[in-house]
Amino acid sequence: MNRGRAQSLAASPALVGALTVLIITVAVFLAYNANQGLPFVPTYRISAEVPNAVSLVPGNEVRIGGVRVGAIDAIVPEQSDDGTISAKLDLSLNQEVRPLPDNSTMIVRSRSSLGLKYLEINKGDSEQGFDEGATIPLSAARPEPVDLDQLFNTFDTDTRKASQVNLREFGDTLAGRGASLNEAIGALRPVVARLTPVMSNLASPSTDLAGFVRGLTAAAGEVAPVAEQQASLFVGLDTTFGALANVSRPFIQETITKSVPTLELTQSALPKINPFLVHSAEFFHALQPGARALRANAKTIKGAIVEGVPALRASPAFNAQLDPTAQALLDLANDVPARQGLDELTVGASTLNPTLAFITPAQSICNYASILVRNLNDTFKFGNSLGTWQQGITIIPRRATTTLVPNSQFGPSSAPASASAESLHFNPYPNTAAPGQTFECEAGNETGSSDFVAGTPLIGNVPGNQGVRTSNQTDKQRAGKQ
């Protein structure tokens, strides 16, 4: 009997079609409602507030630790009392998530580069949880991460072209340098070995790398207001690098090539130069008092330099004559008769030295030789058509009468000079400022009989100092004598 019923059911096309339609309908219903969860399966329903629900749609997944735990049932915009707009998400979560800790946070993440997103919940560790129908506050939402399309949109046309140029240039740089890169990688092995303790130090809490990063963040926040100026700086750098590109080869290339041996030479030379620099510092420190003293005599030094420059310019010609002069002196010194002559001259000079020392002041101080030459010139200078003659002037003393005193020195006498006012006065060896004498020029300074001792015959120098001023002396000569 059962076999007959089975055969009758299979033999009925209407029943088979109806059963097929029912199965398809159930499958479509399940597929349509799959995003909202399976029917007749209990769920944990809560809501969440997010600042921005762009690209989120109902049915997007809710994940915890990368595992799907539910879906978004609905998205509703909301406006707070201060006017800000946010979005409220109705979530349908699995029962095993219940209750969700109340210190959990959430963030909207990208699921693919095509714009599909999901809600990521970072489960907290609080013992208190959200009840059925509760709302996760907006404070639990974290800033929305930057999507890939937003990242791409930050690069404008010029930036993309520049990136292409950079990529091409970097490719040209690395092309054909595989062996060099391999050598560089091999040389980096010691660096990697030494990098381990460095990274350990950076990871140590005592290093406070996080504080350093926070400081960088603060610094970036400080320079944010001058972003336009920084952009102008990069524009200027582009111009600068463009100018450098014109001299990159061969000049900059050669500079880079020669920098390595230069640095190596510098490393070997600096330890040797360091003592010199230390001594130089000590020298200049010790030179400071002298420099301060030179400052007070700067004008004198300047005058010496001004006068010395012409002398130095003329010194090469003078120096050129020194060698033949020295050779001539050497030849003279090697000449025996010349040495004998010099010896005789030395003896003669030694003999004449006292005489010259006695006679020289008569000219150098009293100017008597010049006066003698002048008087001799005047003696033979005047005359008439018949010839010259000597001048003679008879000095007659001024008296009330014109009668001469008997036996005076002004005329012929028959007896020795009398002891009158016109008594004999004669000085055959007057003082000439010679060594051992009174420093005076006696001759020519007796201006009249009043200079002599009245009523007393006198042969020799007049008492007192008559001074050194004589006739035919210039003011410069007199100043030099004084």
Q: What string of DSSP letters covers 433-467?
A: S-TTS-SSB-TT---SGGGSPTTS-EESPPSS---
Q: DSSP secondary-structure letter at 144?
A: P
* Structural contact between residues 429 and 422, judged by C-beta atoms closer than 8 angstroms: no
Q: Considering only CA atoms, which of 147, 141, 9, 151 is closest in space to residue 86? A: 141
Q: What is the rounded distance in angstroms from the CA atom of residue 365 to the CA atom of residue 357?
A: 12
Q: What is the pLDDT along the chain (482 residues), one digit of tens a residue?
A: 445 555 555 556 666 666 777 777 766 655 555 555 555 567 888 888 888 877 788 888 889 888 888 888 888 888 888 888 888 888 888 888 888 888 888 888 877 766 688 888 888 888 888 888 888 888 888 776 666 666 667 777 888 888 888 888 888 887 878 888 888 888 888 887 888 888 888 888 888 888 888 888 888 888 888 888 888 888 888 888 888 888 888 888 888 888 888 888 888 888 888 888 889 999 988 988 888 888 888 888 888 888 888 888 888 988 889 899 999 888 888 888 888 888 898 999 889 888 888 888 888 888 888 888 887 777 777 666 666 655 444 445 444 444 555 666 555 566 665 555 455 667 788 888 888 888 888 887 765 444 455 556 677 787 778 888 887 665 545 544 54
Q: What is the rounded distance in angstroms from the CA atom of residue 378 to the CA atom of residue 370?
A: 12
Q: Which tokens is 399 given?
A: 């008296």
The residues near 358 (Cβ < 8 Å, ≥ 6 apart) are 434, 435
pLDDT for the residue 9: 52
* Structural contact between residues 35 and 71, judged by C-beta atoms closer than 8 angstroms: yes
Q: What is the rounded distance in angstroms from the CA atom of residue 259 to the CA atom of residue 261?
A: 6
**Cα 428 from chain centroid?**
84
pLDDT for the residue 400: 40
pLDDT for the residue 212: 87
